[in-house]
Amino acid sequence: MSKDYIEQFKIEYQLRLAPITIQGYQFNIRQLLEQTGKPFQDITRKDVRNWLMLLEEKGYKPTTVYTKLIGVKAFFKYCLEEGLIATNPVEHIPYPKIPDKVPIYLTKPQLAQLRECVQHSLLERAIVEMLVATGIRKSELVAMKKEDINETERSIHIPDGKGNQGRIVLISLESLQYVTAYLESRTDALPYVFVNHPATNRIRHQKINENFQAYSERLGFRVHPHMLRHTFAAHLAQKGMPGEAIQQLLGHQRPATTQLYARLFNQARKETYDKWM
């Protein structure tokens, strides 16, 4: 049964990739098999191409199709290595071209407005400061525990980043002060850095999204958690930090993501140059 081998694939890769990534890979593999109505052993290159064309016709963005193809390629590579198939039907299928665009990030005046917008709430200000000062993902923020923060070194251990690769990120003194003040204001014994309002569990993704939607409405321009990750990278690039160093802080793994942020670094440096010309 195909589902048995998909589960074996999950077990094999669960130490290499984050759980949410593995879940996405499994979904994409099942989507391909359901579309073709074939077991994985019978999938052909034409089947995969037809599936990709169908995704495009349904309006999937190139970045989404790219991500789906990554999971399918990983699965069939695993099947080939395990001797489950004789040839890899996706080996020579190219990734879709990602549009040449620069990730949107906040200017310094916009960031100042956002900080003013969340000044009423210690929790919300601490979240904004954590995101913009470290460049971490929303999922990493939600999962962060108190023990991950080293106040002396002003560093934070991110144990479950993408690719299951732990990394260390730094945080500015000012931003750390907001996080520390928030933690000191709490009376619960929960291990998480950011908790929900009843202080019964960690803060939910949905709550953070709702907060940022409210900020967007009040500010008059769109802002979301991942935009602060872009802002972190852009502002460091403007200050002259090498792109390779920023990539390490961000914990990037995929080539497409690296290329996307390379354009962001170049744009940020150009803006710095233009200010001096």
User: What are the average pLDDT values for consecutive 10-residue runs of the chain, which has 277 residues?
Assistant: 78 76 88 91 93 92 88 91 91 82 83 96 97 93 95 88 68 95 96 95 95 95 93 82 75 59 66 56
d(CA 46, CA 50) in angstroms, rounded, equals: 6
221 in any annotated domain: yes
Q: What is the CATH number of the domain that holds 182?
A: 1.10.443.10
63 in any annotated domain: yes
Residues 65 and 136 in one domain: no
Q: What is the predicted pLDDT for the residue at 100?
A: 62
43 in any annotated domain: yes
Q: What is the predicted pLDDT for the residue at 264?
A: 65
Please count the structural domains in the chain: 2
Residues 42 and 136 in one domain: no
Phi-psi region of 163 (alpha: psi -120 to 50; beta: other; left: phi over 0): left
Please report which residue ranges of the chain form alpha helices under DSSP H.
2-13, 19-36, 45-57, 62-81, 108-117, 122-134, 138-143, 173-185, 205-219, 225-238, 243-250, 255-276
Helix or strand (DSSP H, E) at 152: none
Residues 136 and 70 in one domain: no
Residues 55 and 114 in one domain: no
102 in any annotated domain: no
Quote the pTM value: 0.63
Q: What is the predicted pLDDT for the residue at 1?
A: 57
Q: What is the predicted pLDDT for the residue at 259?
A: 60
Q: What is the predicted pLDDT for the residue at 277?
A: 45
Q: What is the predicted pLDDT for the residue at 5?
A: 81
Residues 35 and 115 in one domain: no
Q: In what order do the strands lie in the sheet with 167-170?
A: 149-150, 155-158, 167-170
Residues 155 and 232 in one domain: yes
Which amino acid, one-letter code, is at 31? Q
Residues 28 and 113 in one domain: no
97 in any annotated domain: no
Residues 55 and 169 in one domain: no
Domain that holds residue 56: 2-81
